[in-house]
Structure 1
Amino acid sequence: MPWFPEFSTAIELSRRDARARGQADPVMQYLKALDDGGAGALERAWPGEVVVHDPRAGEVRGHHDLRAFIRDNKAWMAAHQSRISVVGSITVGSRAVVELLAHVLHEGSEVAWPVAVVADSMDERSIDFRTYCSQWPVDGRRHPRAPILPAAPVETPGVVGRYVEALAAGDTESVVKTFAPDAYVQEAIGPDNVHRGTSELQAYYSARGREDLRPCATADDGTSCALEYNLVGRGEPQAGLAVFERGTDGLLAAVRLYDDIE
C-alpha cells in the first residue's frame, strides 16, 4: 500500500502539531483541563510525566492520579461556581508563571481568590505544575505549606535582592525604600488586602517583622520577577511565591504574595 507511509507521516505530524500548540501555553492548557474535567489534551501535550503540586490535593503524580485530580477539581469548581481571569504572566525559557484571580462562592457570597500557577518543563515530554495561594478566602483557615522545591543559589538581582535581604534582616526602613512612593503590596488573602504608599507599607512590614525567604526558583523577564521561596525561622519551613513588578525608576511598583503564611 504505497499510500500508507504518507498516511502515517501525516498522523505523526498532526500529533506533533497538537503537542506544540499545547506546549506553547502550558498553564492555560492546564486550566482548561481543570475546567472541562478531561486530562486527554494535557497528556497528549506532555506524554511523559505530568506532576501537579496543589495546595489542597498535595502532590499528584502519574496519569491515573492526574485524571482523578482533574475530575475532583472540576466538581469543586462547579460546586463553588468558580470563574477565572488572568491577571498577568511571565515566561522565561521553559518556566511560565501565570497570575489568576478566581471568583468563587464561599458561604453564599462571591469572593476574589488570588492564585499563581507555575509551569516548569523539565524536558519536551514532561512538566511540573505548581499552584500557590492562600486558602483563607475559600475556607477561612490558614494551611501551612511544606516546601515544594529545595532552596537553591538563585540570583535575585537589583531591587528584588535588596528587598529579600532587608526582609531577612528585619530592616523595615530598608524594605520600604525598595518601593516607589505610590507602590503597593497585595496580601495573599485577597485583592481587598492591599497596602499602598509609604505609610501603609511601613505599618505593614513593621507588623510582619523579620522574614527569611530562601529562594528556590525564579522567572524574571526584566520587568516582572516571580520568586518561589521557602520561609524559614517560623517553625517548619513553608512554601510561597511572590511576584515583583519593577517601575521605570528601578524601584518596586508592586509586590503580590501567594502563600498561606500568617
Structure 2
Amino acid sequence: MVWIPQITDLVERLGAADLAGALRDPDTATVPVALDDPGAGRICGVGVLAAWLAEQEEWRTEHAAVVEPAAVTVTARRAVGEWVVRLDGPDGGRIGLPVAVAVEPASNMPVRIYHSRWPLLGRHVVRPPLVRHAPDAHASDVVDVYRAALAEGDVAAVVAAFAADGYFREPSGDTHRYVGTAALNDLFKGFFAAGGGIPLKLCTVTDDGTRSAVEYVCDRWGDADLPPQAGLVVCTRGEGGLISAVHVYDDVEAPVE
C-alpha cells in the first residue's frame, strides 16, 4: 500500500547494489527481486514490480505524501528502517502513517513492508505471517524482559521495563501514543483485560545495541485465539538500559474494547 523510495538506500547499506538497482528500475534488474506489501501482498517478477512501483508513485502524488525518516537498525545481514508517511487521509485531513521495512537480501522475500491499514481504510485487515517462527530466535536484556512480561500479561513487569518517560506507540501512529508510567499502566491493563497476555512468536531479531527490531507472528491475545498474523516491533533502549520507546507495526485487532 505504501512504497518508501528510500528503501533502496537501506538495501545499498547492506551491500546489495544489484537488488537496490532492481528496486529503482525493475527493467534493468540483474537479480531476482521480490517484496511483500500489506495491500498488494507478494510482488514478484520484473513486470509486476514495475507496474506496482508506477502505481505507487501516482498514489503518493495523489495523496501529497511526504516521507519522514525515523530510525534505522542495521546488522550485517539485515536492516530495519522506520518512517512516518504524512499524507491526505480518507476524510481529507492529514494523517501520519508509521511504516517499517525489514530488508534481508539473502532471503527469498528480501523486502518486507509493515504498517497498519487502519489509518487508510478505517478497519484492520488480517495479514498472514511473512516469516516463519524461529524457536531459537531471542531478544536480549530489557527487550526480552518486556517480551516475557507481555506474554504473561504482567502489567507491573511490562511497565517496569520502560523508562519513566518511555512511551508505547500503536500501529495507527502518534494519535495513539502513551507516555509515562500512569498512561502505560492504564494501556496494558486494558490490553490484558482479554484474560491474559500477548505471546509473540519471534521470527527474526535485528539488534544494534540501541534498538531491537523483532518480526513476529501473533496468534493469541489473552484467552482468544487469532488467525496467525505478521507484525514487527522496534524497542529502543534509553539511558539506564530501560526502554525509551516501543513502536508497533501490525494490523492485529485486539479482542478487547
TM-score bracket, normalised by the shorter chain, equals: 0.7 to 0.9
Write the mapping of 1:77-92 to structure 2, written as runs, cut at 5 A. Answer: 77-92=60-75
TM-fit CA distance, 1:24: 2.3
Matched with 2:231 is 240
Write the mapping of 1:24-63 to structure 2, written as runs, cut at 5 A. Answer: 24-25=12-13, 39-41=23-25, 47-63=30-46
TM-fit CA distance, 1:22: 8.4
Deviation per CA, 1:45-101: give whole Å up to 9, x if none: x62221111000001111121112112212221221111010111111121111001
Write the mapping of 1:243-254 to structure 2, written as runs, cut at 5 A. Answer: 243-254=234-245
| Secondary structure class of the residue paired with 2:171 | coil
* Amino acid of the structure 1 residue aligned with 2:229: Q
* Amino acid of the structure 1 residue aligned with 2:160: K
* Amino acid of the structure 2 residue aligned with 1:149: V
Tell me, yes or no, if the aligned pair for 1:22 and 1:41 is still in contact at 8 Å. no
Matched with 2:133 is 151
| Secondary structure class of the residue paired with 1:208 | helix
Write the mapping of 1:1-262 to structure 2, written as runs, cut at 5 A. Answer: 23-25=11-13, 39-41=23-25, 47-106=30-89, 107-122=91-106, 128-152=110-134, 153-209=136-192, 210-233=197-220, 234-262=225-253
The verdict on how the C-alpha distance between 1:150 and 1:39 changes in structure 2, with shifts beyond 3 A counting, is closer
* Amino acid of the structure 2 residue aligned with 1:96: A
* Amino acid of the structure 1 residue aligned with 2:54: R
- How high is the sequence identity, in percent, across the aligned residues? 31
Tell me, yes or no, if the aligned pair for 1:115 and 1:133 is still in contact at 8 Å. yes
* TM-score of the superposed pair, with normalisation by structure 1: 0.82
Instruction: Show structure 1 runs of 5+ residues with no match.
Output: 1-19
The verdict on how the C-alpha distance between 1:22 and 1:229 changes in structure 2, with shifts beyond 3 A counting, is closer
Bigger Cα Rg: 1
* Cα distance in 2 between the residues matched to 1:175 and 1:229: 18
* Cα distance in 1 between the residues matched to 2:27 and 2:210: 32
Matched with 1:10 is none
* Cα distance in 2 between the residues matched to 1:163 and 1:47: 42
Tell me, yes or no, if the aligned pair for 2:36 and 2:109 is still in contact at 8 Å. no
Matched with 2:4 is none
* Cα distance in 2 between the residues matched to 1:104 and 1:22: 22
State the number of aligned residues: 232
The verdict on how the C-alpha distance between 1:127 and 1:134 changes in structure 2, with shifts beyond 3 A counting, is closer
Tell me, yes or no, if the aligned pair for 1:49 and 1:127 is still in contact at 8 Å. no
* Cα distance in 2 between the residues matched to 1:166 and 1:130: 27
The verdict on how the C-alpha distance between 1:217 and 1:43 changes in structure 2, with shifts beyond 3 A counting, is farther
* Amino acid of the structure 1 residue aligned with 2:235: F
What is the alpha-carbon root mean square deviation over aligned residues? 2.3
Q: Moved runs in structure 1, 4+ residues, more than 4 A?
A: 20-23
* Cα distance in 1 between the residues matched to 2:100 and 2:139: 19
* Cα distance in 1 between the residues matched to 2:54 and 2:11: 22
* Cα distance in 2 between the residues matched to 1:21 and 1:201: 35
* TM-score of the superposed pair, with normalisation by structure 2: 0.84
The verdict on how the C-alpha distance between 1:120 and 1:22 changes in structure 2, with shifts beyond 3 A counting, is closer
| Secondary structure class of the residue paired with 1:207 | helix
Deviation per CA, 1:155-178: give whole Å up to 9, x if none: 211111111111111111111111
The verdict on how the C-alpha distance between 1:92 and 1:68 changes in structure 2, with shifts beyond 3 A counting, is same
Q: In terms of mean alpha carbon deviation, does 155-164 or 46-55 score higher?
A: 46-55
